């Protein structure tokens, strides 16, 4: 077995094979997802919410994210690991973007980087790709610009479909190897997927994209409470962990743990 390459994902699109992607931020989940055959893992800036407890993705820094990138890379053998460039680390221009991307490759050891924005960041994508670093783009709803977009809202409804389409074309032309489509109408995602030569990765973008991504804590039900409509929970990790924790606590309080077999 060897690492998945960007050209494998391109070939999958040509064969009409869909693939899954998950976020991961630590060695245990990375190793489980890798061995379960998930070909692409994203160390998302969603670690801001899902690891560090920030309200939005805006505060997380490269210094916070890079150790998580390293952990995921170290724990995997097959998955292509994508490091997500944090807000503020690439918007100033191609030079800043390239500098951050190089940090992610050298210090994080990941195999590709991701950044948000279509036409407005096409020059950044081109500069990074020009340095030999694969870039995954991210358009539609882009959480780092939620204050401009007016909160968590579907992008590309009605007349604005052309805007998302123009962003999709721009990132493909700039050399991105794949593009995340977040919260766009299914019909718009379908059209982009047919038109673009590169794989599309949907999240809240319907069933017709080449790939699907979810935040792992959403997929596995570790995060509780109201989830966005596009989330499907495949397990109840929060419930399982709560049960285990209660039993451990009860057994400690009751003197049942540790038993003789746990004792030297």
The residues that are catalytic are: 182
Q: Does 210 bind ligand KIV (CB under 6 A)?
A: no
Q: Among 125, 213, 220, 222, which residue interacts with ligand KIV (rule: CB under 6 A)?
A: 213
* Residue whose CB is less far from ligand KIV, 42 or 176: 42
Q: Among 9, 13, 34, 44, which residue interacts with ligand KIV (rule: CB under 6 A)?
A: 44
In angstroms, give the least distance from the CB of 263 to ligand KIV: 43
- Only segment of 2-10, 41-49, 70-78, 191-199 that touches ligand KIV (CB under 6 A): 41-49
Q: Does 45 bind Na ion (CB under 5 A)?
A: yes
Round to whole Å and give the CA distance between 258 and 182.
48
Q: Does 46 bind ligand KIV (CB under 6 A)?
A: yes
In angstroms, give the least distance from the CB of 43 to ligand KIV: 8
Round to whole Å and give the CA distance between 211 and 15.
13
Q: Does 110 bind ligand KIV (CB under 6 A)?
A: no
CA-based nearest residue to 211, from 39, 43, 47:
39
- Are 82 and 41 spatial neighbours (Cβ–Cβ below 8 Å)? yes
Torsion of CA 244, 53, 74, 40, to 10 degrees: 100
**Range 13-42 burial, b when 16+ CB lie within 10 A, else e:** beeeeebbbbbbbebebbbebbeeebbbbb
Q: Among 9, 215, 219, 222, which residue interacts with ligand KIV (rule: CB under 6 A)?
A: 215
Query: Among Na ion, ligand KIV, none, what does residue 180 contact (CB within 5–8 Å per kind)?
Result: ligand KIV
Residue 84 phi/psi, 5-degree rounding, is: -95, 125
Task: List all residues 6 or more positions away from 245 whose beta carbon is below 8 Å from its beta carbon.
Answer: none
Q: Does 89 bind ligand KIV (CB under 6 A)?
A: no
The contact pattern for ligand KIV, residues 118-157, with x = CB under 6 A and - = no contact, is --------------------x-------------------
- Are 30 and 75 spatial neighbours (Cβ–Cβ below 8 Å)? yes
Count interface residues toward Na ion (CB under 5 A).
Answer: 3
In angstroms, give the least distance from the CB of 203 to ligand KIV: 5
- Are 82 and 121 spatial neighbours (Cβ–Cβ below 8 Å)? no
Residues that bind ligand KIV (CB under 6 A): 23, 42, 44-46, 84, 138, 180, 203, 213, 215
């Amino acid at each position: 077995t060897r690492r998945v390459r960007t050209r494998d994902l391109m070939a999958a699109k040509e064969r009409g094979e869909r693939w899954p992607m998950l976020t991961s931020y630590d060695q245990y989940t990375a190793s489980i997802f890798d061995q379960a055959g998930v070909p692409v893992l994203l160390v998302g800036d969603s670690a801001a919410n899902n690891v560090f407890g920030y309200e939005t993705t805006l505060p997380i820094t490269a210094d916070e994210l890079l150790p998580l990138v390293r952990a995921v890379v170290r724990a995997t053998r097959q998955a292509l690991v994508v490091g997500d460039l944090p807000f503020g680390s690439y918007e100033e221009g191609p030079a800043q973007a390239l500098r951050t991307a190089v940090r992610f490759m050298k210090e994080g050891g990941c195999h590709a980087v991701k950044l948000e924005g279509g036409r407005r960041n096409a020059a950044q994508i081109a500069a990074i790709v020009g340095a030999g670093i694969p870039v995954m783009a991210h358009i539609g709803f882009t959480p780092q610009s939620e204050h401009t977009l007016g909160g968590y809202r579907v992008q590309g409804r009605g007349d604005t479909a052309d805007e998302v389409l123009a962003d999709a074309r721009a990132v493909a032309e700039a050399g991105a190897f794949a593009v995340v489509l977040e919260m766009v109408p299914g019909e718009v995602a379908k059209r982009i997927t047919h038109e673009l030569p590169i794989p599309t990765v949907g999240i809240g973008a319907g069933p017709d994209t080449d790939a699907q991504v979810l935040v792992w804590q959403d997929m596995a039900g570790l995060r509780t409470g109201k989830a966005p409509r596009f989330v499907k929970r495949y397990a109840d990790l929060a419930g399982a962990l709560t049960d285990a924790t209660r039993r451990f606590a009860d057994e400690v309080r009751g003197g049942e743990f540790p038993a003789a077999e746990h004792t030297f």
